[in-house]
């Protein structure tokens, strides 16, 4: 299932099996490297990660972050910080990460059009494996936003974006975390515990999330 979707998204691209912080930082490293080349290019990266929570600088700046991260780590969910926006998400082997690094010569900050192009690609990938999907917000989901990928009214993938400019070149990292299989309830519980320790109380709804495996089962 993971392989089928990966092939639909990026034929012939290998799936890297990453571990924790290094796998997350690789996206940023690649964006910087491509910006340094100073030529228009697009590269894709398919990868999975070991089990962890990935949060943003906003949360990492909170007073209780170190303590909350240590407690989460002790529960088996180490916390790492990513450069892109949003809120806390889950990485684990049952979640496929799809990153597109897009560098071009422009002074415009056309984030919306980049997101739209990226989500069209994701939706086409889901269609290729027999799952109908669209973009939209899902109330109660973690890292909610209007560029979620939604199937059957439930969030199946979250997206995030990092924008960098270097001397007339715009580099955009668009990233999707796609739930292939596993237990979204356990994911939500881990996020909720971590964010509560930060002092946040975001009312997540377990039924707001689904996986590719669940959607394929329902389609049969």
| Binding region for another protein (CB under 8 A) | 56-58, 61, 83-86, 106-112, 115, 145, 147, 160-165, 167-168
Reduce the DSSP state of residue 53 to 3 states and report it.
strand
> 49 vs 55, which CB is nearer to another protein?
55
Q: How far is the CB of 133 from another protein (least distance, A)?
A: 19
Q: How far is the CB of 71 from another protein (least distance, A)?
A: 23
Q: How far is the CB of 146 from another protein (least distance, A)?
A: 8
Q: Within 13 Å of residue 32, how many CA atoms lie on the same side as its CB? A: 6
Q: How far is the CB of 15 from another protein (least distance, A)?
A: 25
> 107 vs 217, which CB is nearer to another protein?
107
Q: How far is the CB of 99 from another protein (least distance, A)?
A: 14
DSSP tag of 97: E
> 19 vs 166, which CB is nearer to another protein?
166
> 5 vs 53, which CB is nearer to another protein?
53
**Residue the block writes with tokens 């012939």:** 12
Of 20, 92, 48, 53, the residue nearest 190 (C-alpha): 53
CA angle 87, 88, 93 (to 5 degrees): 135
Of 131, 141, 170, the residue nearest 42 (C-alpha): 170
> 156 vs 173, which CB is nearer to another protein?
173
> 122 vs 180, which CB is nearer to another protein?
122
**Residue the block writes with tokens 């999330």:** 209
Q: How far is the CB of 158 from another protein (least distance, A)?
A: 12
Distances (CA, A) of 34 to 29, 88, 93: 9, 27, 27
Residue 142 to residue 124: CA distance in whole angstroms: 23
CA angle 67, 69, 72 (to 5 degrees): 110
């Amino acid at each position: 299932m993971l392989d089928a979707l990966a092939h639909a998204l990026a034929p012939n691209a290998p799936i890297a099996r990453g571990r924790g912080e290094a796998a997350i930082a690789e996206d940023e490293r690649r964006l910087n490297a491509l910006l340094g080349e100073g030529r228009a290019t697009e590269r894709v990266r398919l990868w999975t990660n070991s089990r962890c929570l990935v949060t943003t600088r906003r949360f990492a700046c909170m007073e209780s972050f170190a303590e909350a991260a240590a407690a989460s780590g002790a529960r088996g969910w180490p916390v790492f910080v990513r450069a892109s926006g949003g809120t806390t998400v889950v990485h684990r082997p049952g979640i496929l990460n799809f990153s597109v690094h897009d560098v071009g010569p422009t002074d415009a900050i056309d984030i919306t059009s980049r997101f739209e192009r990226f989500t069209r690609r994701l939706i086409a990938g889901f269609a290729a494996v027999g799952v109908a999907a669209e973009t939209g917000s899902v109330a109660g989901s973690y890292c909610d936003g209007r560029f979620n990928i939604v199937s059957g009214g439930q969030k199946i993938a979250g997206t995030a974006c990092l924008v960098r400019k270097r001397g007339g070149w715009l580099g955009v990292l668009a990233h999707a975390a796609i739930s292939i299989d596993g237990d979204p309830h356990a994911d939500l519980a881990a996020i909720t515990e971590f964010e509560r320790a930060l002092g946040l109380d975001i009312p997540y709804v377990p039924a707001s999330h689904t996986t590719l495996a669940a959607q394929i089962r329902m389609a049969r």
